[in-house]
Amino acid sequence: MDKIKQALAQNSKMQALILVLLVSVTALSVYMTAKSVIAFLLLLASLLLLYYTSFSNKVKWIIGGVMLILVIPFASSGGPAYESYMEVATQSGIYIAMALGLNIVVGFAGLLDLGFVAFFAIGAYTYGIFSTAQANHFIPGDLFPISGSAFWLFIFVGGFMAALFGVILGLPVLRVKGDYLAIVTLGFGEMIRIIFNNLEKPVNITNGAKGISSIKPPNLFGFEFTHPHQFYFIVIAILAFVIFGVKRFEHSRMGRSWKAVRENEIAAQSMGVPLIRTKLTAFAVGASFSGMMGVVFAAKQTFIDPSSFTLLESITILVMVVLGGMGSVPGVILGAALITILNLQVLTEFTNWLNQLTLQGVVHIPFALSPSKMQRFIFGAILILFAVFRPNGLISVKNRRVNEKLIQERISSASVQKVNPQSGGIAQ
């Protein structure tokens, strides 16, 4: 077994062959069959396989992009299950972006945020309020609803609003650390939910528990986005932006300050890392990703109410981060995809299957045990098991290796270059 592994690791042609085989077989079976969840999952899994191949990063990104933009939508368009496949993929994308945002706060900066879904809610409500007649209740003049073409602008407005609230939440947080912070953010998330749930008087801003309905779909030059397969491309585009951003942030000065603060606040501070700015940007950046996806979510569902933004959602995102590996970008992407698929497809399919078996009288599964109701248990168990046995998650973080030799060579060559003109100067 090890031999095969080694041979595979060295032979990138073999890897390419296997990848092509897997993708073509699964894509074909997804295309041909009416609904095959397993084939679709395998097709998605080929992306993970791609991650483990030994191609260069550029090649990986290009192949991954082609698969996401062309292969997966095309393959799933074959059967009647098209929209449900795309729905799952779109939701995964939304959750991946949120998990990446939380990863910045928890994984990079080490600040446990248990109210993260509040930022998602803020993004969703920002678009929801202004793209329906709701805003007329508190802004004079019959200006609203705005047209769906403002959606594109609102992606940024939503992100900005969420970032703003991230900073507002961050301000008290600066004085609070560790477990206190977890509780304060938990309270914050709960406060936002209660406020959204009751803000129908004195001024009707959020329409209370009834929620906001018939939110305008996005509109691009007269083309309306209504189906999940259309939203898929919006989500992919934002996701590309988010992943690019996270990757840039991770190795930037800011990213390194976040990690320094995570490891030891006092040491980081004494090395000149500005604590306030570092923590606040972590909150703001993380929140803005979530806010952007909130706008997309509101436009996709066309209906939002406070029940979509509960503690369970916050914990779900936390589970994604912990499962994948705190601080590890590929890990968090994997974790978010796994949990979303587990939630939306595996658990529902499994429940349906069990229900059928119960109906046929093969086995008797009590209603209380139906897998789709066991979410909390599964999430809790994942959190405990991973905390105890694998705190680094599925794909643990790899810090960028510093090639010492290369740096030393560079330094010495640089100093040689510097020395030469100087010695020339002395000779003069």
Q: Which residues bind other proteins (CB under 8 A)?
A: 106, 110, 112, 114, 172, 175-176, 178-180, 182-184, 186-188, 190-191, 194-195, 197-198, 201-202, 266, 311, 315, 318, 322, 326, 366-369, 374-377, 379-388, 391
Q: Which is nearer to other proteins, 188 or 297 (CB)?
A: 188
Would you say 137 or 227 has its CB closer to other proteins? 137
Nearer to other proteins, 353 or 377 (CB): 377
CB of 184 to other proteins, least distance (A): 6
Q: With respect to other proteins, which residue has the nearer C-beta, 201 or 405?
A: 201
Nearest distance in Å: CB 23, other proteins: 36
Q: Which is nearer to other proteins, 45 or 174 (CB)?
A: 174
Using CA atoms, how far apart are residues 426 and 349, in angstroms rounded to an integer?
A: 81
Q: How far is the CB of 312 from other proteins (least distance, A)?
A: 9
Q: How far is the CB of 198 from other proteins (least distance, A)?
A: 5
Distance in angstroms between the alpha carbons of the first and the last residue of the chain: 69
Minimum distance between the CB of residue 349 and other proteins, rounded to whole angstroms? 20
For residue 39, the minimal CB distance to other proteins (Å) is: 31
Residue closer to other proteins, measured from CB, 108 or 151: 108
